[in-house]
Amino acid sequence: MTKYLLVIVSLIVLTACSKNENSSEVNSTSTLSTATEASTTFSTSDTKSNSEQSKTSISSENTEKDYPYAVDLNDFVQKIKPNETDEKNLYHLAFVTNQKNVPTAITLNTKDLNNLGKGIYITSNGKELFYPISITEIPTKEILLVGDNEKERKIQANTEVKIEMPENQSDPLQIVGDAYYLFYNQQETISLAARNFSENPGSENIDNNMIEYVQQVDSQNTEEMKEEKPEKTDESSNIIDTINLTTKQVEDWIYYHENLFWKEKGQDLIRGDINYNFQKESNQTLKVSLVTKWQPLGIYTINENGELYREDPRSGEKTFVTDEYDAK
């Protein structure tokens, strides 16, 4: 009997030990599996991160490769000092040519007061003609043009200047739809490849017969801006530059003064009844006519110095309003 009891106790002890070993193996396997999963997750995360960085780097490299001749529009920004204390930015460059029987100068403004935000001004026969433009980057295009030395050469360009239709639907030069091109020349300034106005008018193919307009160096010298304009005593950093206003700022400024004009006559204007008709007169000069369905209101002009004038629509009398942005 004693032998049988010893046998049974031995079996129980052996069974318990076997279970502990199996449990230990299970725990060990589980721990190893968890560690493997964590390692796999970490490795996958690192791979994704490296992949994303690689894609960003490749994308940047591809952009440079796709548009190697693109012109940076920041190169159009010119800092000027109308006086010793103020500093302003201009966003246009003038381009000139020595070619005969073509417009003598073309000014391109990258921050213009029109719906597209950019404009081109072509000086022809003493008149300055305005067209809105769009500027985009395109795949490399080869252009054949004639420079000031009257020699032909081929250039590559990635920056296209597209001539758009003005709001008044006027196209006196028949150039709406033209594509011109900006590129850096050998003097490390900017050139504009434009149609040869004297030889290929109308809708003919112009890419193989263009002329070069070269950036007018120091064209942004602003001695004319230092005319006898009184210095402002308020040097607050909150002063708004009246030369570079947005369309909304122009509307706010003009409405503010037109409303003051009619309030003095005992009438209040309802802004929702007013339509604003924008018209370019010349480079950096904007005319805005205010009309309602009942009557015409004032005609306002903002000149190249950022000065605001009001013209009476009936008498034609023109008066200076202000040169400070004071809309409230």
Q: What is the pTM of this model?
A: 0.53
Residue 310 CA to residue 301 CA, distance in Å, equals 7
Q: What is the DSSP string of 54-77?
A: HHHHHHHHHHHHH-TTPPPGGGG-
Single-letter amino acid, residue 111: K
pLDDT cut 90: percent of the chain above it? 24
What was the pLDDT predicted at 84? Answer: 67
How far is C-alpha 195 from the geometric centre of its chain's CA atoms? 24
Report the alpha-carbon distance of residue 316 to residue 312 in Å, rounded.
5
- Picking from 129-133, 276-280, 324-328, which range would have the lowest pLDDT averaged per residue? 276-280
**Cα angle, residue 176 at apex, residues 168 and 89 outer, rounded to 5°:** 75
From CA 289, how far away is CA 310, in angstroms rounded? 10
- Which range among 18-22, 149-153, 219-223, 314-318 shows the weakest confidence by mean pLDDT? 219-223
